[in-house]
Structures are given as structure tokens and as C-alpha cells.
Amino acid sequence: MNTFININESVYSICKNNSKIRDILYDLGFKSIKNQVMFNTIAKKITIKKALEIKNISEVELIKKFKENGFYIFNNNRNSILKEIIVRLHNNENIDNIKKEFDSKLTKVSAVEIHNAMHELIKEGMDIDEAKEYFYIRSLILKDAISNDVDIDEDYIIYFKNTNREIEKLLKDILENKNRYIFDKLYDKVKKHYIKKETLFFLELKKHNNDEPSKVMSKVDKDIIDYMDYIKNNNLDDNTFFIEMHKLCGNINDMIFKEENILIPLAISVLPEDELKYIKENYIK
């Protein structure tokens, strides 16, 4: 399991809490850390961040070395706190405890902050499949915590949101009215929507090196379509069909939330007006 450490804490306190870190720092070039006298004196007064500056060792090198040994680095800033919380979620820590800590330290986060945190975690070694696996767990924390201050011209995204409202209506009709006969309509609507999202939003964001959310969403989209294929291609009895539909509904609704609270605000923040127009024109074709 990965552990988060704060490089603004003293070398002494961090090493005292985990002796393995002392060996890692030694391997990085901090040879005097094995001198017990210096460790009990100077190490108490100097932070790892300051020690890096003195030894002229890059933080990137430290991050890489620590990551190899199961440690993540964070500083005392919003981005690092968010990264820490995401990693701890991935490590299956108690969600209620993490949510309380999130509320006390961050309260609200923006789509751009979420993107930046995921971008750095993936750059530092978090596997895309791991990020996808915990896609839904992150929603338990972020559902009521996303606050975007991006000015959104509804003209650019109303077509996208309208599709989501249509998908929600179909899901509701299937589940509340026990109408399994419109499943094919739902299937076609969702699949077409995801294909356009992939070929328009994701590709445009990739041009601007903002594709981490897209990579994760793309994998989750594929899982949703695969699940719909399973429902579509198997002769399920009514009871099994509606059990599976309840699961599917939760996954699709979670994706809708991520699209409208992360993907769209991120696109509005990053993409120039001509690219937003291009997306709109090609989405509504």
C-alpha cells in the first residue's frame, strides 16, 4: 500500500515514523543521514524539501525514487492535499474519515484542480487502469464538492447536456415503468454519445496535453458499453435484467456527473473558442 509523506516535515520525524525512508534518502545521496549524531541533531531542524535544495537533488528524482518504494510526496498546498486524498481512497482507507478531512482542508475543488491532481499522479506512476478502477469511489468524495468558477456559455454545451437528459429519461422509464423494450434505444443513444465524446472532446483536449481525465473516462465508457453488450446479447429473465439495469444506471449516472462537472468545465477552461465551436458543430450532426 502506498504511503503519503510531507516533504515539509523534518527529515528526523519522517524517518522516525518509517525507517525505510532513511535508507531511501541515503541511496539518493544523503550519506550523513546514517551518522547518528547528525541524525539526532541537524535532521530535526531541516525539512526534506530544504535538504533537496542543499544537495541539489531534484524533487522529480525524489518523487521517482519514493514512488518505486511505495511512497507518494505532497506539499502543504491544495493540489498536494487532493493528490493525497485520491491516493488514500485508492488504498481503501475509510471513506467517511477521508470525507471529513476533505471537508476540513479543501471543502470545494474545481474541475481544473481535479485534472491537475490526476495529471500529476499519472505522471508520477499511477496506472490508468488503477485510476479507472477507483473512478466511482472518487465520486463518493467529489459528488458534492465540485465548485467550478468557469464561465460556461450554455450554447456550447446545451446539446451535450440535452443528450444526458434523454439518457436519464430512458433509464428512468426502463426502471420505473419496467419497460425493458426500450433498452435498444438507450444502448444506441449511449454508444453514439460516447463515440462523439471520444472523437471530439477527448481528441481536442489531447492536443492541449489535458488527456488524463479522457484516458480514464474512455476506459470507463468502454466498460459501460461492454456491460450494455452483456445485457443486450444475453437472454436475461426479467428479474436478472432489472437487477443488472440498476447497476448500469448507477454507472451511467456517475459518468454523466463526471462529464458535466469535470469534462465540460475542463474543456471550457482549456479549449479556444474555435475548437469549442468545432465540437458543437460536429456533435449535433
- Map the chain to HEC letters: CCEEEECCCEHHHHHHHCHHHHHHHHHHCCHHHHCHHHHHHHHHCCEHHHHHHHHCCCHHHHHHHHHHCCEEEECCCHHHHHHHHHHHHHCCCCHHHHHHHHHHHCCCECHHHHHHHHHHHHHCCCCHHHHHHCHHHHHHHHCCCECCCCCCCHHHHHHHHHHHHHHHHHHHHHHHCCCHHHHHHHHHHHHHHHHHHHHHHHHHHHHCCCCHHHHHHHHHHHHHHHHHHHHHHCCCCHHHHHHHHHHHHHHHHHHHHHHHHHHHHHHHHHCCHHHHHHHHHHHCC
If asked whether residues 159 and 280 sit together in one domain, one would say yes
* Among the listed residues 251, 220, 247, the one whose alpha carbon sits nearest the alpha carbon of residue 236: 247
* pLDDT attached to residue 2: 47
Q: Is residue 222 part of a domain?
A: yes
Q: What is the CATH number of the domain that holds 66?
A: 1.10.3910.10
**Residue 123 pLDDT more than 80?**
no
132-183 confidence digits (pLDDT tens): 666 655 665 666 666 554 555 566 678 888 999 999 999 999 999 999 999 9
Determine the Cα–Cα distance for residues 148 and 198; give it in Å rounded to an integer: 23
If asked whether residues 212 and 272 sit together in one domain, one would say yes
Q: What is the mean pLDDT of residues 71-75?
A: 66
Higher pLDDT, 29 or 243: 243
Cell of 98: 477521508
Report the domain count for the chain.
Answer: 3
Band (pLDDT 50/70/90 cuts) for residue 70 is confident
Q: Is residue 56 part of a domain?
A: yes
Band (pLDDT 50/70/90 cuts) for residue 54 is confident
Determine the Cα–Cα distance for residues 21 and 27; give it in Å rounded to an integer: 10
Q: Is residue 148 part of a domain?
A: no
What residues are paired with 10 via a beta bridge? 47
Q: Is residue 31 part of a domain?
A: yes
Q: Is residue 190 part of a domain?
A: yes
Report residue 5 CA to chain centroid gap: 20
What residues are paired with 6 via a beta bridge? 74
If asked whether residues 195 and 86 sit together in one domain, one would say no
**Residue 100 pLDDT more than 50?**
yes
Domain closes at, from 74, 104, 121: 74
pTM of the entire predicted model: 0.63
Share of the chain above pLDDT 90, in %: 26
Report residue 152 CA to chain centroid gap: 22
Band (pLDDT 50/70/90 cuts) for residue 1 is very low
If asked whether residues 250 and 176 sit together in one domain, one would say yes
Q: What is the CATH number of the domain that holds 239?
A: 1.20.120.520
Q: Is residue 100 part of a domain?
A: yes
* pLDDT attached to residue 136: 55
Q: Is residue 149 part of a domain?
A: no
If asked whether residues 80 and 10 sit together in one domain, one would say no
Q: Is residue 57 part of a domain?
A: yes
If asked whether residues 23 and 118 sit together in one domain, one would say no
Domain closes at, from 74, 102, 119: 74
* pLDDT attached to residue 32: 87
* Domain membership of residue 221 as a residue range: 154-284
Count, residues in the chain: 285
If asked whether residues 65 and 80 sit together in one domain, one would say no
If asked whether residues 46 and 82 sit together in one domain, one would say no
